[in-house]
Structure 1
Amino acid sequence: MADLVVTSIAVDEAAEQLKSVLHELENMKELWDDGDLWGHRTVKNAMGDFVDSWWVKREKLQENLKDLQDKMEKAAETWNNTEIELEKSLTPES
């Protein structure tokens, strides 16, 4: 089995990707309110029903993602600081 390799780049990127997902969820209302997105009336009505229940679920998802994103940013900061300190400890003093 391969070893798991975690780099500061991967941790930082994960934090940024979570931020992007959260941003999309926070700004979805503009997309839904932007006119006739769905075309056919049947599809539009079905999507309207979905959207009504989605807003409730979206709020809870947003809360959870915000919490996860905050924790991921803290993990990235801690990871990067740990890498710096490890490098310092392995570098002989001049």
Structure 2
Amino acid sequence: MSDLVVDFTLLSTSAKQLKVIRTEFKDLDDWKDDVGSVVGAPEMKAAMTDFVDNWDDNRKRLLESLQTVGKMVEGTRDAFRGLEKSLAKAGTKKQ
């Protein structure tokens, strides 16, 4: 019989890091206006606008994915903590 080992520290750290990454990507929105004001040539500005619009669409999907994965990690951690408490309680009752 093998034992299941859950690294709660790793799960908690992963959830925190995903939140930090999500915040970093979310805050990238501010650079859009800066880029437009620096680029002078109309063709270059049009190309940058297309890039930024494409980036925004992909960034939104990435933000949603980061949030979803973060919730999954937190849910996994919380489920295993609850299971651990339940098993500990059950083991105490038998003794």
TM-score by length of 1: 0.64
Q: Offset at 1:18?
A: 0.9
Query: For the Cα contact (< 8 Å) 2:12–2:74, is it kept in 1?
Result: yes
Residue 7 of structure 2 is matched in structure 1 by 7
1:55 — aligned with what? 56
Alignment of 1:1-94 (within 5 A): 6-30=6-30, 32-33=31-32, 35=34, 48=48, 50-91=51-92
Partners of 1:15 and 1:89 in 2: how far apart? 29
Counterpart-to-counterpart distance in 2, 1:63 and 1:81: 27
More helix by share: 2
Decide whether the 8 Å contact of 2:32 with 2:52 is kept in 1: no
Per the TM alignment, residue 11 of structure 1 is displaced from its structure 2 partner at its CA by 1.0
Report if aligned partners of 1:22, 1:65 keep a CA contact under 8 Å in 2. Answer: yes
Q: 1:11-31: per-residue Cα shift (whole Å, max 9, x none)?
A: 11111111111111111123x
Could you say if the C-alpha distance between residues 34 and 91 of structure 1 is closer, same or farther in structure 2, counting changes exceeding 3 Å?
farther
For the aligned residue pairs, the C-alpha RMSD in angstroms reads 3.4
Q: Say which one has the larger Rg.
A: 2
Identity over aligned pairs, percent: 29
User: 1:54: Cα distance to partner?
Assistant: 1.4
Counterparts of 2:93 and 2:65, CA distance in 1 = 44
**Displacement of 1:5:** 5.1
Q: What is the distance in 1 between the residues matched to 2:24 and 2:56?
A: 13
